[in-house]
């Protein structure tokens, strides 16, 4: 096999993997999970002292 053919096949494999990830990320099945993850910074913490430095 020629090295150029191997490079071409590898490029096609990488393109297909990339497109698969894009389709997975933008699929409607994942919307609820991504909406939940997007709102994580705005949720209230149970323990209010988690991010405060200790006064010791």
In this prediction, residue 44 carries a pLDDT of 83
Domain contains 48: no
2 inside domain: yes
Dist CA 22 CA 17 (whole Å): 9
User: Does residue 33 sit within a domain?
Assistant: no
- Give 14-45 pLDDT, tens digit per residue: 999 999 999 988 888 888 888 899 999 998 87
Domain that holds residue 1: 1-26
Is the pLDDT at 7 greater than 90? The verdict is yes
7: which 2 tokens?
């490079």
Q: Where are the beta strands (DSSP E) in the chain?
A: none
Q: Is residue 51 part of a domain?
A: no
Q: Which residue has the higher pLDDT, 47 or 16?
A: 16
In a domain, 54, yes or no: no
Q: Indicate whether 51 pLDDT > 80.
A: no
Domain contains 12: yes
CA distances from 14 to 2, 21, 27, 50 (A): 19, 11, 20, 42
Residue 8 resides in a domain: yes
* Domain total in the chain: 1
């Amino acid at each position: 096999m020629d090295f150029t053919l191997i490079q071409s096949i590898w490029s096609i494999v990488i393109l297909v993997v990339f497109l698969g990830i894009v389709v997975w990320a933008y699929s409607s099945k994942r919307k609820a999970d991504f909406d939940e993850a997007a709102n994580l910074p705005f949720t209230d913490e149970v323990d209010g002292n988690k991010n405060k430095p200790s006064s010791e």
